[in-house]
Amino acid sequence: MKQKAENPKKRFAMVVELKKCFNCKGCVVACRAENRVPLPISRNWIEESGVRGRYPFLGMTFEPAACNHCEDPPCQRVCPTGATYQSPEGIVLVDNRKCIGCKYCILACPYDARSVNHHDRVIEKCTFCKQRLPEGRIPACVETCMGNARHFGDILDPNSEVSRLLAEKDRFVKKKEAGTRPAFYYVY
């Protein structure tokens, strides 16, 4: 069941500066605490993507990852009850009251961004910390990031930090070929 804002005034997105992430995993811990996610589930994680720099100054590149809040999300397309929906700002969310636990969304997501929380009997995924946003607060992973690698904001606002980063730097999204149009960007 498709529910999408036709003319969104805001489009929230995450932008990660790859050279600043040093794999401290503070964001992973902060997310778990903020959203009370039980072990062993994690809404976000760090991927090791390769070596950077030149010999002898070599280091690993780390890619923090989570739900991409896709503009065209297959998880929403396959959801038989409309439990998965998009907020007017493009955040992909789950209405737990409508979820019947069929797991179609888990199979449909190309990013393995969803998992079953057997304890609370809900589907876990990043929500961009939606509970914080009405107060003008940023997601916990962004707030806690010691490397200042994570940035969050409105990409329809040309003056936002995320818009500036995307305009100034080379960027990519994961699995672009999947055609889901992620709102989770990586910049060099």
Binding residues for ligand SF4 (CB under 6 A)? 30-31, 34-35, 43-44, 66-70, 73-75, 92, 109, 111, 113-114, 125-129, 139-141, 180
Pick 33 or 51: Cβ nearer ligand SF4: 33
Provide, rounded to whole angstroms, the least separation between the CB of residue 73 and ligand SF4.
4
In the complex with ligand SF4, which residue's Cβ is closer, 53 or 161? 161
Residue 61 beta carbon to ligand SF4: minimum distance, rounded to whole angstroms: 19
CA 101 – CA 116 distance, rounded (Å): 8
Q: How far is the CB of 52 from ligand SF4 (least distance, A)?
A: 23
CB of 105 to ligand SF4, least distance (A): 7
Q: How far apart are CA 74 and CA 67, in angstroms?
A: 12
Which pair of structure tokens corresponds to residue 124?
């876990």
In the complex, the smallest distance separating the C-beta of residue 94 from ligand SF4, rounded to whole angstroms, is 9
What's the CA gap between 64 and 43, in Å, rounded? 11
Question: Residue 44 or 87: which CB sits closer to ligand SF4?
Answer: 44
Chain-centroid distance, C-alpha 32? 14
> What is residue 74's three-state secondary structure?
helix
Sign, Cα dihedral of 163, 172, 131, 80: positive
Query: Among residues 10 and 125, whose Cβ is nearest to ligand SF4?
Result: 125
Residue 90 neighbours by CB distance under 10 Å: 23
Nearer to ligand SF4, 8 or 52 (CB): 8
Strands 57-65 and 45-54: antiparallel
